Amino acid sequence: QFEESFEAYEVAASTAENANLATAAHSRACHNVLAVLVQLYLLEATGPELLYSLLSDHIAPRLQELDVMLVLGVLRRAGVQLRTANPTAMKAFVRAIKARADAKAAAAPGGQLPQRYRLMLETVLEMKNKKGDVKSGSPMASASA
């Protein structure tokens, strides 16, 4: 379901006139599906591999605004548990996100990333450095209501 929603979002967002519709409908669908998967992980109904697969294979390579919001939501809800379960996978994910964000910053006017991207990088680096719990207040919480 997540892959179907994500692919539909990519197709619809590819044209400028459909971008707003795609963002509204498919963004919410992606948030909700990922929120359910995070909850299943927290309830130990699934392993960390599923979330790492989604994060590494589908979200990190694109790293657009929707992706940033998804990463923030996952890390705020289950980042500490994911890092504890598989520190090596978290380290690889952090490297991928950092490399992609650096490439985006280099391409951005003035070399500055938007605020959401900087917040995501800060959160990701907190996970890498394991400075304790990540701040709560996930943007996914409001999307799943």
* Model pLDDT for residues 64-99, shown as the tens digit of each residue: 888 888 888 898 899 999 999 999 999 899 899 888
Closest CA to 60 of 138, 131, 120, 137: 120
| Predicted pLDDT at 142 | 37
Instruction: With 0.85 as the threshold, say if the pTM is over it.
Output: no
Which residues in the chain show pLDDT less than 50? 16-17, 134, 136-145
**Residue partners of 36: CB distance under 8 A and separation at least 6:** 144
- Rounded CA gap, 116 and 122, in Å? 10
Beta carbons of 90 and 114 less than 8 angstroms apart = no
Q: What is the DSSP string of 24-62?
A: HHHHHHHHHHHHHHHHHHHTTSS-HHHHHHIIIIIITTT
Q: Burial level of 144, CB count in 10 A (0-12/13-18/19+)?
A: middle
User: In this structure, what token pair is assigned to residue 18?
Assistant: 């459909």
